[in-house]
Amino acid sequence: MWCATIAEAQAGTRYFFRLNGELLRPDPYSRSQPEGVHGPSEVVDPSFEWSDTAWEGLHIQGLVIYQVHVGTATPEGTLDSLIGQLPRLKALGISGVQLLPLGEFPGNRNWGYDGVDLFAVEHVYGGPVALKRFVNAAHAAGLGVILDVIYNHFGPDGNYLRDFSPNYFTHRYSTPWGDAVNYDGPESAWVRKMVVDNARYWITEYHADGLRLDATHAIHDASERHILAEITSAARAAAGTRSIVLIAETGENDVRYLQEADRGGYGFDAVYADDFHHTLRRYLAGDHEGYYAHFEGTLEEVARCIRQGWLRMGTPAEDRPARLSARASGLALEKSFVLQSRAQRFCG
């Protein structure tokens, strides 16, 4: 690591790192990218006048999530304008707002799943202070905020991590979206630290009430302690006495996701209920193509999925060659499956 103290730097100062005396690159830990993924990073004063000291957080029991894409939820497409929608969302009966990924991404309109700056709140949405205002207002309205985070890949446009080190990525594994992140190879300790720091960051600096980890089946790690267990443990420690909710997007049907991290599990509160969605969708709408073809779509099958937590156990389905594990029915029901389907995103 290289460290320096810049006496004249202050909030608002913009800067690059100069690599090998030649390349100018944004800070991988940048809190703000006001000119986008290719521009300079910005020094941010992390202090904020929070008014949510009485807020106790979210619990998985009875949690109803409304998933929101900030860029399409209001005509302005900003976090500040979304504050005005909080009373309407509260009136719907929800208890938590899940924001699609906020890490700085290329362009002005984007789902957010090809972001490249984990710590920088998208400047088009209003940047870091706007996110704090939104979370503070949500808590005042009695609503929690869950953030969608991506630790399985980085987007291609503006991804300068290789200029800092080739060890951020690995060719030992693959993902559908680009090179896999190096969590268990040479120099992986610093890569692991970055994502664990990021999970802590959202919980402490932004008072987030939980994280939804994107496509955890594409997070490959053969280490003695899986990076997912390290992330969930760090996030809960960062929250202190405040209750947070941690959700994994995976169709692996692996009970380890729901087991405590200190007992060999990954420590999540919930996983996406693919089987429940697929069998119910076939029953209600008759869909039978693609992955729906592996489901009967009967009420008996729906009931069995509710009792067990999922249907596919022990033998992989043709469309899902990943490892499958034991039934989740031995766990508390609220930890069997998440309350929101991966197949439908409600925006605005």
Nearest alpha carbon to residue 60 among 12, 18, 96, 109: 96
Question: Which residues carry out catalysis?
Answer: 214, 249
How far is the C-alpha of 279 from the C-alpha of 294, rounded, in Å? 9
User: Which own/partner contact pairs does 70-73 have at CB distance under 8 Å and 24+ positions apart?
Assistant: 70/99, 70/100, 70/102, 70/122, 70/125, 71/108, 71/109, 71/110, 71/124, 71/125, 72/109, 72/347, 72/348, 73/347, 73/348
Burial of 178 (0-12, 13-18, 19+ CB in 10 A): middle
The alpha carbons of the chain give a radius of gyration, in whole angstroms, of: 21
Q: Which two tokens stand for residue 290?
A: 């693609």
Angle at 45 between CA 40 and CA 46, to 5 degrees: 110
Residues in CB range of 28: below 8 A, 6 or more apart:
117, 118, 160, 161, 164, 194
Do the bridges between strand 144-149 and strand 210-213 make them parallel or antiparallel, or are there none, so unpaired? parallel
DSSP 119: E
Closest CA to 319 of 298, 283, 293: 293
Three-state SS at 256: helix
